[in-house]
Amino acid sequence: MTLEEQEIIKRYRILLGGAGIGSIIAECALRFGFENMTIVDGDRVELSNLNRQNYTEKDVGEFKSESLEKRLLHINSNAKIKYHNCFIDSQNVAELVEGHHVAINALDFASDIPFLFDSVCRKANIPVIHPYNIGWAGLVTVLKPDSPHLSLISETSEGFEVKMAAYVTQNLRFRNTPAYWAEDVIRAYKEKIDEEKAPPQLSVASWIVAGFCTQIMYHLCSDRPVKIFPDFYFASVLNENL
């Protein structure tokens, strides 16, 4: 990395939409040299978050975005971290997106807001990184203003994360690199979907995803090529041959 690239990275403005898996991405990016971030999340830290998100027991009950800002500044007090203790919605999304170089869409697909977020970023010519935690594996895909929409996977937000995971495992089979364990997880989850259980998420995948996102942002800000949706990044710590 050149000195010029280091300066570019410091000034590169990241919008973090969601501070769940986004909390791990933020720390990984900060330790790489990205110092300019805006964090947006209206959720508070829950005990159940601690197995995979970047919080401690002392943070439980506090706003995620505010707790994350404090943690990042403890790592690098020179960083320029802004936070908003609010949810992204149709009224504030355009204002929040404005002025950033890249956005990370780590929003819950509990509504169509993640799609709206992508749409607003597309109009503002801002690339969007989508991270997914698949238990033992990390998955990331990147949207650019001229790339296809995620509507290729599904036009509705209901069960979107599982649909995305299924899309990836089907592609891995086509590439002759199947992830049978992931297919089993998806199948088991679909069978129990009426129980309203969330797909399994582990800290292992959060850090895999964080590494992908940090590399992608480095490539974007230094004009290096990245994989664009419908292509994706996928890595697992499981070895199917063992």
- Whole-model pTM: value is 0.94
**For residue range 36-59, what is the model confidence (pLDDT) as tens digits?**
999 999 999 999 999 999 999 999
Tell me the C-alpha distance between 154 and 145, whole Å. 19
**Using CA atoms, how far apart are residues 40 and 18, in angstroms rounded to an integer?**
6
- Which amino acid, one-letter code, is at 236? S
Listing DSSP states for 64-121 in one string gives HHHHHHHHHHHH-TT-EEEEE-S---TTTHHHHHTT-SEEEE---TTSSHHHHHHHHH
Across 216-229, average pLDDT: 97
As given in the structure block, the two tokens for residue 87 are 């949810």
Nearest to 159 by CA among 188, 199, 121: 199
pLDDT of 81 over the 80 cut: yes
> Burial of 1 by CB count in 10 Å (0-12 exposed, 13-18 middle, 19+ buried)?
exposed
Nearest to 162 by CA among 196, 213, 122: 196
Taking a C-beta distance cutoff of 8 angstroms, is the pair 143, 157 a contact?
Answer: no
What domains appear along the chain, each with residue ranges and CATH number? 3-147+200-236 (3.40.50.720)
pLDDT tens per residue, range 62-74 = 999 999 999 999 9
**21 in Cβ contact with 133 (< 8 Å):** yes
Q: What is the mean pLDDT of residues 167-178?
A: 93
